[in-house]
Chain A
């Protein structure tokens, strides 16, 4: 049995069920990590743990993601993988004796700084700008200015149906960039 994807346009610790967000994406995030082929075995679980430590901390702090929650979590996952792989490369330079616990310092500081940008307006604005005029304008008005799609449609002089089509197409393109690790 499946349920509707959680897709709040505004997310904070006050108006979203943190338990549901984490539980719903707990498994998909592991699939996402393992689909990259960049980390093995328990490394994937370690990356997943860090993704949700961050998501939990941010939601509890009242952070408002500008992307739908699934896209935001997968974006954080991409950045976390990138940081983890970079950190692992550094670790491999130091030989570990058998039985020593690997992964004590899984993230390089440079990647952490990059990860810190998730959800920041300038990152999202860059994504929306990359969409082009119509899609970018619609997404900006919808997600950054908080207008309903019907209001955006009226402002842009298009039908509500057309607005939904543009919205869907824009989300698909952003998903593709996320999937490519190109966002």
Chain B
């Protein structure tokens, strides 16, 4: 059995056991020349295996999305977490300083209300949000703007909780050049 067969089998076992294996991490473990074939083998697994039961949190977020409500806000509310608490945890998880908290709060609000394009968000942020929210990275449901911009800021504010209004232009008003915080939330992909 070659290495990629072993990797594909490992992926199959982890997937079937509901362990949320990261396909990209498996690709990284293969030689460059073998990655395409390993990817094909992992897709065979996904095509063959029944999908795992979705986590209750995933179902909750999906139901919110289908109702047109912000999924991350729904999850946070269901977990009884305040936005301030999440922002602090997120800032710490990202290794940022207390001085960065206001800017993290603004970006988190954009994230929670679906205004931040997903492609610009760094992997570290996805992982940190998933950890703070207690869900797997792969089952986290973050919404970005829909193509064509169907959901404007006013609509988002209307759905947000009282007191959650944060100026969308607060970042522009803050002094200084773009830095690590900006890079984390807009400097992606990757």
Contacts and interface: CB of A to CB of B under 8 A. Distances in A.
A27 B52 contact: yes
B163 interface: no
A70 B51 contact: yes
A179 B40 CA distance: 6
Given A22-B62, A22-B66, A180-B40, A37 B51 contact: no
* A interface, size bucket: 35 or more
Most buried by B among A1, A18, A44, A178: A44
A135 interface: no
A78 to B, nearest CB: 9
B134 interface: no
A113 interface: no
A41 B119 contact: yes
Contacts of B54: 20, 23-24, 26-27
Interface residues of B, number: 59
Interface string A90-103: 00000000111111
A41 B53 contact: no
Nearest to B146: A53
B133 interface: no
Nearest to B20: A27
Nearest to A41: B189
B69 interface: no
Contacts of A104: 117, 145
Contacts of B183: 98
Contacts of A103: 117-120, 144
A30 interface: yes
Given A56-B66, A99-B178, A24 B39 contact: no
Contact of B46 (A28, A40, A56): A28
A31 B42 contact: yes
A93 to B, nearest CB: 16
B62 A37 contact: no
Given A27-B138, A41-B190, A46 B144 contact: yes
Given A27-B52, A45-B144, A101 B44 contact: no
Contacts of B122: 41-42
B147 interface: yes
Nearest to B48: A175
Nearest to A46: B118
B27 A31 contact: no
B138 A30 contact: yes
Interface string B154-190: 0000000000000000000000001000110011111
Given A35-B24, A37-B27, A40-B188, 14 more contacts: A2-B16, A2-B50, A4-B50, A25-B51, A31-B23, A35-B39, A42-B122, A43-B118, A49-B146, A70-B51, A103-B117, A175-B47, A178-B43, A179-B43
Interface of B: 15-16, 18, 20-24, 26-27, 35-36, 38-40, 42-44, 46-48, 50-54, 58-59, 62-63, 65-66, 116-123, 126, 136, 138-139, 141-147, 178, 182-183, 186-190
Interface of A: 1-6, 18-20, 22-28, 30-32, 34-37, 39-46, 49-50, 53, 56, 70-71, 74, 98-107, 172, 175-176, 178-180
Closest 9 CB pairs of A and B: A5-B50, A103-B119, A23-B54, A41-B189, A175-B47, A179-B43, A35-B23, A42-B118, A34-B24
